[in-house]
């Protein structure tokens, strides 16, 4: 018999609880016995396997994050030391400072922020928002087959339009609506010492609300001088450099419309009228042209004037051509001699095309 007060189990014929002395009632004892029976069947539930897995995953993530930030902190310190070494080598030419250096372990690039360059002997200060180094190979003099790949970007080069930077042209540039320009430079190039080749995949210079000039080219038969002793041999070897291909692309970002607006105002006419006048002048040049290339190039220029977005000049000779060979088309013949090459054939020889 169970006590209704404390739940203690007593003898079946007991009238009082042995534990608390409470009087025992058989009807209440049955209720207590029922609940005692039910409670004895309840067991502690097992730990959920999902909870265990989540705890393990959480611990792993914490460990990985700790490792990542630890390695990143170390990489940042190493990168900062390397940047300081480079700056130490330029102290003769300029005073360079920066705010911070960060390494992106996923993108494997180094970012230097808040750079200020003060060339020695001047009061100028060149400020750059950010320099991003994606890939940077250093020439190793102990090797004869260096393969170098360098890719970097200069973002937000602050250029103030004043006499210090542009002389007397500063006021003219200001009439276009520019007081400060934030310029960018992007470079991606390779040098193969064994093959004596340079392949510039991208050289992009410009600024938003102005425009961007893009250049890429592939040349060979060139040896980059590694010290001052090789400078003269490099200079004398320039005519032997061979051109495989080259392309210049200009992307306008409001510079040309600004120029048209100022030019139209100076003539006292509307911009549309000025463009029509300019187009007419180009048409006159086309009518007077005696070569198909000139006509085609002027037609593309006319398209660009009326819709200033992009214009490109591509040079792609059938075979790699040396600079010395090109100069034969341009050099005047000595008195009494016929010209070696016809300059008009140079366009065809280099396979030059203009496209808007």
Q: What is the pLDDT of residues 124-146, one digit of tens each?
A: 788 999 988 888 887 777 777 88
Mean pLDDT of 151-173: 89
Percentage of the residues of the chain whose pLDDT score is greater than 70: 76
Q: Kindly report, residue by residue over 329-356, the tens digit of the pLDDT.
A: 777 656 655 555 666 788 888 999 999 9
The yes-or-no verdict on residue 263 having pLDDT over 90 is yes
How far is Cα of residue 264 from the mean position of the Cα atoms in its chain? Answer: 37
Tokens of 188: 């991606």
The yes-or-no verdict on residue 304 having pLDDT over 70 is yes
- Sort 328 into a burial class: Cβ within 10 Å, 0-12 / 13-18 / 19+: middle
Q: Kindly report, residue by residue over 208-256, the tens digit of the pLDDT.
A: 999 999 999 999 998 887 766 677 777 888 889 999 999 999 999 999 9
- Looking at every residue in the chain, the average pLDDT score rounds to 81
CA pair distance 76, 103, nearest whole angstrom:
6
Q: Which of 45-49, 76-80, 126-130, 230-234 has the highest mean pLDDT?
A: 126-130
The yes-or-no verdict on residue 309 having pLDDT over 60 is yes
The yes-or-no verdict on residue 121 having pLDDT over 70 is yes
In the block, residue with structure tokens 């058989």 = 26
**CA nearest to 154, candidates 180, 182, 122, 120:** 182
* Polymer length of the chain: 356
Q: Is 120 helix (H, G, I), strand (E, B) or coil?
A: coil
- Sort 261 into a burial class: Cβ within 10 Å, 0-12 / 13-18 / 19+: middle
CA pair distance 235, 265, nearest whole angstrom:
47
């Amino acid at each position: 018999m169970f006590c209704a007060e404390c739940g203690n189990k007593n003898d079946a014929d007991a009238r009082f609880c042995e534990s608390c002395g409470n009087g025992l009632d058989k009807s209440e004892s049955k209720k207590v016995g029922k609940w005692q029976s039910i409670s004895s069947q309840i067991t502690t539930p097992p730990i959920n396997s999902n909870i265990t897995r989540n705890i393990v995953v959480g611990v792993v993530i914490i460990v990985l994050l700790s490792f990542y930030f630890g390695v990143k902190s170390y990489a940042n310190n190493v990168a900062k030391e390397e940047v300081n070494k480079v700056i130490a080598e330029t102290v003769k030419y300029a005073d360079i400072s920066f705010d911070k250096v960060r390494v992106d372990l996923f993108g494997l690039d180094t970012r230097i922020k808040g750079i200020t360059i003060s060339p020695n002997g001047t009061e100028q200060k060149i400020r750059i928002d950010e320099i991003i180094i994606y890939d940077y190979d250093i020439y190793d003099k102990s090797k004869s087959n260096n393969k170098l790949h360098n890719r970097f970007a200069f973002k937000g080069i602050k250029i103030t339009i004043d006499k210090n930077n542009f002389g007397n042209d500063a006021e003219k540039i200001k009439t276009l609506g520019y007081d400060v320009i934030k310029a960018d430079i992007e470079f991606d190039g390779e040098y193969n010492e064994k093959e004596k080749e340079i392949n510039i995949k991208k050289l992009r210079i410009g600024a938003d609300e102005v425009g961007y000039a893009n250049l890429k080219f592939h040349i060979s038969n060139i040896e980059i001088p590694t010290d001052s002793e090789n400078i003269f041999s490099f200079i004398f070897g320039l005519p032997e450099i061979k051109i495989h291909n080259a392309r210049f692309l200009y992307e306008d970002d409001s510079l040309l419309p600004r120029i048209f607006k100022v030019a139209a105002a100076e003539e006292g006419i509307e911009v549309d009228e000025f463009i029509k006048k300019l187009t007419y002048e180009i048409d006159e040049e086309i009518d007077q042209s005696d070569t198909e290339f000139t006509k085609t190039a002027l037609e593309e220029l006319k398209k660009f004037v009326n819709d200033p977005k992009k214009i490109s000049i591509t040079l792609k000779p059938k075979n790699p051509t040396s600079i010395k060979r090109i100069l034969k088309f341009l050099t005047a013949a000595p008195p009494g001699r016929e010209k070696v090459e016809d300059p008009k054939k140079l366009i065809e020889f280099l396979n030059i095309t203009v496209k808007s």
